[in-house]
Homo-oligomer: A and B are copies of this chain.
Amino acid sequence: MAQGQFEFFQMRCFVAVAEELSFSRAAARLNMTQPPLSRQIKILEERIGLVLLERSNKYVRLTSAGESFYHSAIDIIQRSEHAILNARQAERGELGNVSIGFVPSAAIQFIPLIAKRMAELLPNVGITPIEMMGYEVIESQRSGRIDFGLTRMEQPRGEIERFRVVNEPFVMAIPESHPLAEKTELTISDFDGEPFVSFTKDRGGFLMETLTAMFLACGITPQTRIEASQTHAVINMVNHGLGFAIVPKSVQVMRLPNIVFRDVELPKQFRSDMYLVTKSGQESALHERVKSLIIDTLAPFRESD
């Protein structure tokens, strides 16, 4: 036994004596005889260099140091029990911390929903959401800075796993002042020649490509007035009457005063995807747990229309 620090067992002995205020009774409680108990207490006192118990033949009393140490001991013993419970939780993937990198448009619904469900189902798992550009999500994933990523980019395979967690229809965002906002049954051809707020193509804006392909397929050519790089910006342009836009349906929970959202029939292949990316070969239980939690949480945005 490393001469220098006291042992756990000695602490338990001390606690028993402190509570019983009797060596014999404490010994009985600890399923041992009195002499070794006395010895353990003595060793404990030697190790910490303090007298913890004042013992004369007829009474046993705690010294001030003993009083203090008793409280500490109770605390430490309890913590050591918690340590085991926590470790067990961690093993089951119910304790820890995960960081999620995500593109700004995921901040509207997906990340809050994930955070909420994590708080419910995995209350002891912390979440660190980090907003970033689509390409950064992949970089950060490779470098290990984040555990999970949410992005719209279809990524070259390799050591990174990818799941399509969102596959939702587009909706039209129309300024309230625009004549089309009145019409109830809209088709895509109604937007031919109308002012359009588009996404930029640079910096990994993926929606742009999808949308131009769709316009081509539907045979319409809106009048592109402005390009913005992120959904937030696009939506705010529309809100100020600068034109209509096409955004993923999940965006429409953002209620802005001068926007109306309208469903519109589009060819089946033109839908908005989002991918969950993760380093493959992560066999941690926590990782698995969170991964399926994210997939489950986003299921409504994948199956519904």
By a beta-carbon cutoff of 8 Å, the part of chain A in contact with chain B is 1-2, 5-9, 12, 30, 48-50, 52, 63-69, 72-73, 75-76, 79-80, 82-84, 86-91, 93, 95-96, 284-286
Contacts and interface: CB of A to CB of B under 8 A. Distances in A.
Given A48-B87, A50-B84, A68-B86, 15 more contacts: A5-B8, A5-B9, A5-B12, A6-B8, A7-B7, A49-B88, A50-B91, A64-B93, A64-B286, A65-B90, A69-B87, A69-B90, A72-B80, A72-B82, A76-B79
Nearest to A89: B68
A43 to B, nearest CB: 13
Contacts of A91: 50, 63-65
Nearest to A79: B76
Contacts of A72: 79-80, 82-83, 86-87
Contacts of A285: 64
A1 B286 CA distance: 34
A28 B2 CA distance: 14
B75 A87 contact: no
Contacts of A30: 2
Contacts of A90: 64-65, 67-69
A67 B287 CA distance: 14
Contacts of A75: 79
Nearest to A72: B83
